[in-house]
Amino acid sequence: MNVLNMKRGKACRKPFDMGMPAKATDLVRLAIKAGDPYCAAAVHNIATGRDKRRLEALMFDKRRNTLLLARWEHTPASVLEAIANSSAGNGDSGVVIRLDKNPNATAKALSQLYVGQADVRQLNSDFTVLIAQHLHSPVSVLASIVQLSEDEQSLKAVSRNPAASAEVLSVMLERMANSKIIGVLYKNLAENPSTSTELLDFIYAKGDEYVRAAVIGHARCSQAVIDESVSDKDVKIMRKLAVNARVSSETLVNLAASHDVAVRCGVASNVASPEVLVMRLLLDDSCLVRRAIAARLDLTAASINALANDKDSWVRQWLARNPRIPRKVLERLSVDFEVDVRRAVARNTCCPVGLLKALAKDQSAWVRSAVAYQHKSPKVVMEALATDNNIDVLSGVANNPHTPQMILQDLAASPELDIRRGVILNKYATRKTLLPLLEDPYYLHRLMLVGSVRLKGKDKWSLRDDPDFQVRFMVFRWMASRLCESAVR
């Protein structure tokens, strides 16, 4: 082997010589100097003129990089627009399909793609379908598809898209009135939140039982349609009526007598159900119905007592999580033989501290971990749980706002990822506690620290040459946002 064949440090990213940039232009030039397409993407929206062109050259000089950025879910909108606008975006179907699928693609980018890709669209209707279903597609583009497209899949995609306006949906229904896909369009429109009340009334009159059920479940369904459907005996429609708070008490009483469990469950969870009806459903044979009642926030003392003795553990579990439950009932449930019921007591936002202290000594680590995560658990409980050896319990301790910093500092050095992540997620962890985690081997932890309000700017900036491209991207994006804010001030 030749000595010359010993290759050293090619993959090494040399730390930048510059300190923290004071101006946006400094940061942009630093990103250019770094030669990293992800850093370039992070600062693209604050760059101007020649610097912007240099960033774009850096990002788009290789097709591979353009493809990566067009697909990446974190690519900033301005970069996606630049790709859409560039020759690479306009001439390359591989790039176009990624832009069309990218949830971050802006209305402007999608509009550019739709207008600029007329030739490609004629060859491949998949592109139009992707634009037709994109949540950021502008109404004007969707209107154009509705008026001009002959492709059934594209029209169906618009009918499902909540970004389509009521007018666009109305025009489509009118145009396709005699088409063979009208039945599918009715169904899609019945579930599209943008569909107007008038259109829903029309669809209800024309559609089958599935369409009628979907219309009744729609937030914009008219009271007239709801009143009309009350006499409908189709179970799908009854299920939708049972959960609808606009239905009268009389109707709910009738629905509560249904043989269908899902209908009775709907009534049991409906806030409009009268107390007497809830009391009656407490005796329902189906535990699913009783579980729905146990989750209600308007339970009476009599209902609570009945549910606390229910033989179904899920009923007791739902009750144990209910914040309206009195202390005495919680105490009873805290010694339930089912672990999940005791855990539910520990997770109850209104669980008294005394009960939490008792549950902290529970034999099940699953219960103790719920106590550890409970924000009402006091410092003394956290100190006791910090000696536990279960990962779930220690992760909870790491997350808890009442855990002393000394304990958090110990947990920050844990070999377990989940425990260290708990410290990072703890809003009360101090800078001193968090600083060692900047060296955490797991990239996601370093990435999360870029968003920490406890760390200083210089701490975060130390990650600017991180080995992971996502961390570098986040650092540059954070700095870009910070410089923009200070420029506005």
Partner 1 sequence: MKILIAVKQVAALDEDFEIRADEKDVDEDFLLYDLNEWDDFSLEEAMKIKESSDSEVEVVVVSIGPDRVDESLRKCLAKGADRAIRVWDDSIEGSDAIAIGKILAAVAKKEAPDLVFAGVQSSDHSYASTGISTAAYLNWPHAAVVADFKYQPGASQAVVRRELEGGMLQEVEINCPAVLTIQLGINKPRYASLRGIKQAAAKPIEELSLADVGLSTGDVGAGNSMSRVRRMYIPEKGRAEMIEGSLAEQAAKIIQIINEFKGA
> Which residues are near partner 1 by CB under 8 A?
1, 5-13, 62-64, 67, 71, 94, 97-98, 101, 156, 184, 187, 190-191, 210-211, 213-214, 236, 439-442, 466-467
Compute the least distance from the CB of residue 130 to partner 1, in Å: 11
d(CA 24, CA 30): 10
Instruction: For the beta carbon of residue 414, count every other beta carbon within 10 angstroms.
Output: 17
The residue with tokens 């990072």 is 424
Comparing CA positions, the residue from 49, 13, 60 lying closest to residue 33 is 13
The residue with tokens 């009334």 is 201
- The DSSP line for 243-278 is T-TTS-HHHHHHHHT-S-HHHHHHHHH-TTS-HHHH
Q: Is residue 223 packed enough to be buried (19+ CB in 10 Å), middle (13-18) or exposed (0-12)?
A: exposed
Compute the least distance from the CB of residue 245 to partner 1, in Å: 20
Q: Is residue 483 packed enough to be buried (19+ CB in 10 Å), middle (13-18) or exposed (0-12)?
A: buried
* Tokens read off for 433: 């506690």
* Residue with smaller CB distance to partner 1, 86 or 144: 86
* Residue with smaller CB distance to partner 1, 19 or 441: 441
Compute the least distance from the CB of residue 353 to partner 1, in Å: 38
d(CA 421, CA 412): 8
d(CA 24, CA 197): 49
Compute the least distance from the CB of residue 95 to partner 1, in Å: 10
Handedness of CA 78, 83, 86, 89 (dihedral sign): negative
* Tokens read off for 81: 């627009």
* Residue with smaller CB distance to partner 1, 44 or 98: 98
Comparing CA positions, the residue from 388, 383, 391 lying closest to residue 408 is 383
Task: Give CA angle at 220 (218, 224), nearest 5°.
Answer: 100
* Residue with smaller CB distance to partner 1, 235 or 484: 235
Compute the least distance from the CB of residue 161 to partner 1, in Å: 15
Phi-psi region of 155 (alpha: psi -120 to 50; beta: other; left: phi over 0): alpha
* Residue with smaller CB distance to partner 1, 218 or 477: 218
Q: Is residue 201 packed enough to be buried (19+ CB in 10 Å), middle (13-18) or exposed (0-12)?
A: middle
* Residue with smaller CB distance to partner 1, 1 or 453: 1
* Residue with smaller CB distance to partner 1, 9 or 103: 9
CA distances 133 to 85, 91, 128, 481, Å, are 21, 22, 9, 31
* Residue with smaller CB distance to partner 1, 64 or 458: 64
* Residue with smaller CB distance to partner 1, 67 or 287: 67
* Residue with smaller CB distance to partner 1, 26 or 468: 468
Compute the least distance from the CB of residue 445 to partner 1, in Å: 10
**Within a 13 Å sphere around the CA of 440, how many CA atoms are in the beta-carbon half?**
28
The residue with tokens 């008490």 is 249
**Within a 13 Å sphere around the CA of 196, how many CA atoms are in the beta-carbon half?**
11
Question: 243: Cβ–Cβ under 8 A, 6 or more apart, which residues?
Answer: 217, 266, 269, 270
Compute the least distance from the CB of residue 318 to partner 1, in Å: 24
* Residue with smaller CB distance to partner 1, 196 or 305: 196
Compute the least distance from the CB of residue 266 to partner 1, in Å: 13
Compute the least distance from the CB of residue 191 to partner 1, in Å: 6
Compute the least distance from the CB of residue 341 to partner 1, in Å: 31
Compute the least distance from the CB of residue 221 to partner 1, in Å: 14
